[in-house]
Structure 1
Amino acid sequence: MTLAQLKQEIIAYSISIGIDKIGFASADPFVDLKDKLINQQDLGYQSGFEEPDIDKRVHPELLLPEAKSIIAIALAYPSKMKHAPLSTKGARRGLFCRASWGEDYHKILKRKMEQLEAFILEKAPNARVVSMVDTGELSDRAVAQRAGIGWSGKNCSIITEEFGSYVYLGEIITTLALPPDTPITEQCGSCTKCIDACPTGAIVQGGQLDSNKCIAFLTQTKTFLADEYREKIGNRIYGCDTCQQVCPENKGKDFHLHDEMEPDPEVVKPLLKELLFISNRQFKETYGLLSGAWRGKKPLQRNAIIALAHFKDVNAITDLERLLKEDPRPVIRGTAAWAIGKIAAEKSELILKVAKEREKDADVLREIEKGLNLLENHNI
């Protein structure tokens, strides 16, 4: 069998196991990407979740000696939720981004790639393969673009002709010299809708993201959220879809091709107050399946408190007061104090003044002062 024939067999097999798009690229170093990554690092635009060794991100041969090709795959995920519950007064809800609907996509992609790896090794026993998704060293976007999966959009996502940017990406490095596909050049043109719509201005320019300003990143942090972003986060519990929702290439794109990606509406659009006191066991049972649970419950609870403040939910004051009194975590107590001031309920001032006398943590005391200042400005 020739390598060209093997490529066709891999494509046919990928379709049979539910891979929505597949492309092939050379494993040559990503020379142009290296300069961009160094620039991102110098500007302080990285999130800290990336592989710190830039050479590993641009040299596939460091991950697999004698690497010749990279196989890129894409799986399309839904953009619309069926039977979504309403967020109503007294029963306000948060929202997980679309990439956290259904089962953790890392696991879904890993299963597909394991099947594909087994098929390749059955056909070419002497080949070697290494697969990765998201948390791997290589840039999923750079690989996908080179492999012709889609183009790298101004919103820093891969945009495919068929599925828009609502795709999960993964790749397999191999020692097989499979014929490469043609890269797709950027097709965003003069459109700047994603840049204009970004709530925090995180998209510095087309294709360049300051990760530290991105709501998708901010919702995953475990510390106090900077004041300037609390107004921007809205009711987002995990992630952000704004730059994808406004993209013209995503208009009308909604694919329900994988049952395991279908969201449970009550889980991905949860009642905010129910998140506040959830036990570790309940959290694992309810949210453990989601990719959005990987950082634990603390960031999601902090975000839920901010969302309640966003809605100015007076019905949440008693719950927030309880957090301020009883929660052992300063970030949760402090954020609750700020939220109590933001909501500006009838008894907010009394709650905060009592807490001020009791509280010992300096960070929480600062948040209590912020809450009191919000009340003072509210009353002016």
Structure 2
Amino acid sequence: MAAINADADGFWSAMPNGNRVNNARQGRALIQSLFPGGSTTAPLSAIRSGVISTASDGTQAYDLRVTVQSGRILLVQPGSAIIGRSGQGAYLGWELPAARTVTCDSPPASNPRNDIVVFRAYDTAQGDTIPASGSIPARIEIITGTPGAVPVDPVTWDATGLITTWPAANPGGGVGIPLARAQVSTGGVVTLTDLRRGTAPIGGVRVLLPGDLLTDPSYMPGDIRWFNGLDYWDGTNWNELGRPTIGLAARANATQTIAAGGLTFLNVTSAYKPATGITWNGSNQATVVTAGIYSMYCGVSNGFLAGANYSCCIVGATAPGAGIAYVAAPTFSTTTTDSSVSTTRWLAAGTVIRPAIYNNASAFTLNPTTQKPAEFEMWRV
């Protein structure tokens, strides 16, 4: 039996009859082949839609970022984005070179309202209708929600970050991605939530934006993302490639009274190695941002104190009861001069860590000008 062949769907720069032809569908297929897909088993069936990051100050990514300019007027920064379409590949859309302004509808009368700022693409060849005469087919639009005691979003997006269904008040079809939620109060105050999700060419580093979740999977082993460091996808999990130094080192710089018969959090207000990659309240509380293995140390010296019986410890957000919630439990000795504890523990994101001292004797004062100051260090291994 002779082999049976099948047509493919085209190639870039096709030249039928000697004439070069690059149609829109071929262009979308080219774009789709360069960006991460949205399925593990069906290549080119979906694409990860989102914003392409090109500019950041290390804290904020600015591409297509939405901010309040004044009142209900919103400012949308320049940027470009990938917007997928089922069976049609991907659109590469952009807003260049200047920022644009859009304005939310008038304030609701009695309850707040969620409006969604979207980047929307219309393709008349697919039956879409551009709503405003003379408009180009890529638009920044505000989709107005319905007021409610607990307002809900007027549109939703799928796991690839794509909006495909639009309210009756916003006809025309097309596809889009969310940029921000603008909650409008009855007084006209707009509170923004950044909803941008990131995408990047295959082989590049995909910057996670505020709309991304750390638990979002990838669909391609070797995919690389950035969130306070680099991770790669092994087909099942994200694995760390590298992180900057995370942690801090701090010591006391003022006297502190240690209460009798109980636990006192140590005020180590002078950070001689400023906090990086964790949240620090400036005195005695660190909050883990990135889960991992952390080494911790807490030490203090009161000099010789007859009858003293105290010990450093490391605890959670509140004082532990009967040893519960100690990260590093105290080890007591009588007539203590120096006391220190150290430990290495795996800590989940959001874990709160505090240096403390538990005193089983009379109250006393720690004085960093005459004794070794209380110290606390915490480092991600």
Pairwise TM-score range, normalised by the shorter structure? under 0.3
Highest CA radius of gyration, 1 or 2? 2
TM-score in terms of structure 2 length: 0.25
Structure in which a larger fraction of residues adopt strand: 2
TM-score in terms of structure 1 length: 0.25
Structure in which a larger fraction of residues adopt helix: 1
